[in-house]
Amino acid sequence: MTQPPAPSPRPPLQPRLLGPWRTACQWLTTLLVIVIPFVRVDGVSLLRLDFPTLTLHAGGRVFPIETLSLFLLLGLALLLLFLLVTLAFGRAWCGWACPQTTLVDLVEWCARGIGVKVAAGNLPASPGQRLLLHLLYLLLAVLVGVNLVWYFVAPYDFFPQLLAGTLHWAALLTVAATAALVYLDLAWLRRLFCKEFCPYGRFQTVLVDPGTLTLRYHPLEAPRCIRCGACVRACPTGIDIRNGYQIECINCGRCLDACREVMARRNQPGIIRYTFGMEDRGPRALLNLRVALVATALLAVLGILAVVAGERTSLSLKIARNATLMPRPVGSGQAINFFTLHLVNREGSPQQFLINATSAGATLELRGPAQPLILNAGEKRRIDIGLLTGLAGLPRAARLELLTTDGRVLASEQLQLIPPTLPDAAR
């Protein structure tokens, strides 16, 4: 009697690893940080803070730092975004996009490439390997310092000024100081910074929420653990995730991948996984009062910011009465008031305009510079003018406008014309 054929062995389970996704996220974030200073929109940097003109270049527009309301709203929006991301995703930023983690991962990858055995963040290397590593630290440190300065001095200006020896000493000092800090960090701290010194890690432990994304070893599946120690060996900060939630965990998912690879050989799923909260209620765990309040506040601030930015004019106009020239009579039955205009071109291209003054029921004559006027991109200018009108009806309100050559209003302000103060002898 023939025996039935033996069942074919079950194909090994293919683990779904997060490592490639994490690496792609790190590379994408790094490339964005490096490339953004090179991007220009209509001749204006995509993102740059320009100290000589005290302006912020963002999205192809120029915002004077004196526009305090915009900067306060932007700062508040970034703070609320920071709180919301922390409440929702915990330290996932640390493991997936933080520059510190990205730099140390790159260092460890290069160290493995030259034969160094990396263990829990330690790099036991020979003298020759150590020399190569320190050269790598120095190269990365200088790159980080230069990249930081590009957000203040455009790369298109940075390199010519550097080669010509005209780069401002503050920029050189910033490169040197940043490079020194990064070099010391990579040479002696690396993962220790994440474990002991990172302020975000300590702050995040205060904000952890019942719905926050965490990486955990589920206690109900503990009997399936074969005590192989792969999760501990894979952890960059050297912790044992089986001991529960720990502030040193950066949510990178390396222990998850290590567990999945080991358990896949036994045709079993991994024991470690990401969960929203400790009760594993899924994304609906984020539907709680704390997250809702922060999200609502963020949306409100972003809405106000959008309205304020949308109503912002391309040419800033501020008017002040001249501090040294008081109103005075001119000829018979006329008086002249003196004003100082403070103008700022907020655009990335020159603007040509006319100054026009009107008042209901009165004729105004403007005394000032020849028109039309041209203001270069980002230029600030002070202009002194005089407004001549009849004495009858003073004081009276007037309106001063900045117009394009085709009559479109760029900016306008109200002002008050007052009669001259006569000396006592003339009264």
pLDDT digits (tens, 9 = 90+) for 137-174: 999 999 999 999 999 999 999 999 999 999 999 999 99
Which one-letter DSSP state was computed for residue 300?
A: H
| pTM to 2 decimal places | 0.78
Rg (the chain; Cα; Å): 32
Q: How far apart are CA 22 and CA 254, in angstroms?
A: 10
pLDDT band at residue 419 using 50, 70 and 90 as cut-offs: very high
pLDDT band at residue 12, thresholds of 50, 70 and 90?
Answer: low
Q: List the structure tokens of 125.
A: 């290397």
* Beta bridge partners of residue 384, listed in sequence order: 340
Phi (first) and psi of residue 189, to 5 degrees: -105, -65
Residue pLDDT, tens place only, 241-259: 998 888 889 999 999 999 9
302 or 221, which is more confident?
302
**Per-residue buried b or exposed e for 72-91, using 16+ beta carbons within 10 Å of the residue's own CB:** ebbebbeebebbbebbbbbb
pLDDT tens digit sequence for 327-377: 999 888 899 999 999 998 877 678 999 999 999 888 899 999 999 999 987
Q: What digits encode the pLDDT tens for the residues 94-124? A: 999 999 999 999 999 999 999 998 877 788 8
Closest Cα partner for 182 from 98, 93, 100, 94?
100
Give the helix, strand, coil percentages of the chain, each rounded to 5: 45, 20, 35
H-assigned helices in 185-316: 191-192, 199-207, 230-234, 254-264, 289-310
